A and B are shown apart, each in its own frame.
Chain A
């Protein structure tokens, strides 16, 4: 088997990054209103005018950037969880972390503590995400095999179902306005995203992404076992704490802003490992870029596929992610 990431590897990394950057802006050219590409480019260059200018600069551009930030963050969070758990199936949605974040956000919204698109909402979601992660580990540890892939996935599913029930409970006790907002948001959508949401997502995602990228070498060592990592000079307990918290925070910020979007963290790192290798110094930054392009494109597809009806973006990512997840699961289970 040829080695990804060496010799030709540099060229591959450049090619993947260039492709992602090329695909990323395509979402600007999709939307309910048909605007000629030339005019969009003129508007981006500072020209143009009238309603099209508003559509591009106040609707399409923030929506594209939000999708990019969330996709990049979710893909990096997935790659991080995978290294920490030494399991290519680990992913915020599957681990129940997203459901936890959703519960935290819904609880905060229902209690009226914070409004939508607020800087504090991701913190409520983060609290929920950490609670979910702690619960998943507790359940898996009680089964005696905390890192067994089957036990962990089962725990994630069960905890996710429990949190979904709690969300339903909160919503059934809330007023109709809250329910409508919450349900739309929970389906996962970038619909109506404005610059405020972009600001919130950027404030949490960008610093955390840099922090994770700085831990790339430590994550390399953790991916070959905690004992080996320790002997290679990694401060295992500290790195684990920081990386779990950072990946949960990125996930929580995404959920708080745009609801639950699954499988980005599974699809993107998996594809990248096959093409550019498993070293986190390339895997994490490329996960961000490709995740950004992936989610922005998925959002364009969500708008265009059944136009004029827009489908939730979580539906698109699940349609791509679930078949891949099942294929991976089948392969994992075949080799015990």
Chain B
């Protein structure tokens, strides 16, 4: 599925500056695109704008060429799986119950789960390596386990696109790499992926394209080598960096330098 924002502007009530200021992006079918930028630069807002979850003050968000406002929420949930930054879990739920919610958009409000729905849930559980946790209560999971379960729920939607907001924040190397490999594999199967992350090096390694946001504006977009230049990164993050080519992976590696001010 193709994701597109045309000159999208988003204003939150009470905020002096727009959260997104005339941002235009295009994500091609089957591309893995990473959204980068400092805290508060509009990364999450961009995902919400693409998903029709915030009102646009200007511009247009399109999914497969159709304005997002014209999609019904159910049709949208069958096409796009989303892993928001966090969610409240106030009641005891098993892992399988939480992942099964990914099928709700495929079921009517009253329809019974079909064999097909159960298969999709089991497949998603195994792909995210959480099948052994299926009977566990979600409140008892570790951070890494919970993230994989939430990604499994998005995969159970059998979507054509995945949008993930910092899914690997607070995860250790093993869990972070497992998730990135999973996303790269999904992209190879034709699923469009939009990944919000703070991890520049891993984004450079796994993403086909990068979007770099700076205070609500699109500062740079292109291949990792095009976007991650020392000048651009230094300007956007307002911290001096050098960029090297990693000899093992061949992708750009951002090295933060000692700061301009002693601290």
Contact = CB atoms under 8 A, between A and B. Distances in A.
Contact of B104 (A217, A230, A277): A217
Contact of B84 (A231, A235, A273, A278): A231
Interface in B105-119: 105, 107, 109-110
B135 A234 contact: no
B114 to A, nearest CB: 14
Contacts of A230: 51, 53, 73
Interface string A31-54: 000000000000000000000000
Interface stretch (B34-42, B94-102, B198-206, B230-238): B94-102
Contacts of A175: none
A186 B136 CA distance: 45
A177 interface: no
A72 B84 CA distance: 35
A224 B102 CA distance: 12
Contact of A3 (B91, B94, B107): B94
Given A3-B136, A4-B92, A228 B109 contact: no
A221 interface: yes
Given A217-B109, A277-B93, A232 B102 contact: yes
Given A227-B53, A230-B73, A277 B87 contact: no
Interface string A216-237: 1110110111011011111110
Contact of B92 (A214, A227, A232, A273): A273
Contact of A225 (B72, B84, B137): B84
A230 B53 CA distance: 8
Contact-residue bracket for chain A: 35 or more
B100 to A, nearest CB: 9
A278 B91 contact: yes
A235 B76 CA distance: 11
Contacts of A279: 93, 97
Nearest to B133: A3
A218 B91 CA distance: 15
Given A87-B90, A234-B73, A224 B96 contact: no
Contacts of B76: 233
A5 B98 CA distance: 12
Interface in B60-95: 72-74, 76-78, 80-82, 84, 87-95
Contact of A233 (B73, B89, B92, B140): B73
B88 A225 contact: yes
Contacts of A5: 94, 97
A277 B94 contact: yes
Interface in A232-252: 232-236
Contacts of A232: 77, 101-102, 104-105, 157
A208 B81 CA distance: 32
A242 B66 CA distance: 29
A88 interface: yes
B109 A233 contact: no
Interface residues of B, number: 39
Contacts of A2: 135
B82 A220 contact: no
Contacts of A6: 94, 96-97, 135
A214 to B, nearest CB: 6
Contact of A231 (B51, B96, B110): B51
A231 B74 CA distance: 8
A274 interface: yes
A94 to B, nearest CB: 16
Contacts of A221: 101, 104
Nearest to B165: A227
A170 interface: no
B136 A220 contact: no
Q: Which of B93, B110, B135 has the most CB of A within 10 A?
A: B93
Nearest to B48: A227
Contacts of B109: 214-218
Contacts of A12: none
B104 A278 contact: no
A1 interface: yes
A224 B88 CA distance: 5
A227 B93 contact: no
A221 B77 CA distance: 12
B98 A224 contact: yes
A153 to B, nearest CB: 14
Contacts of A218: 109
A4 B92 CA distance: 9
B18 to A, nearest CB: 20
8 contacts: A3-B96, A6-B96, A86-B88, A221-B104, A223-B91, A227-B53, A235-B74, A274-B92
Interface of B: 48, 51, 53, 72-74, 76-78, 80-82, 84, 87-98, 101-102, 104-105, 107, 109-110, 134-137, 139-140, 157
Interface of A: 1-7, 82, 86-88, 214-218, 220-221, 223-225, 227-228, 230-236, 273-274, 277-279
* 6 closest cross-chain pairs (CB), A and B: A233-B77, A233-B105, A3-B94, A231-B82, A278-B91, A3-B135
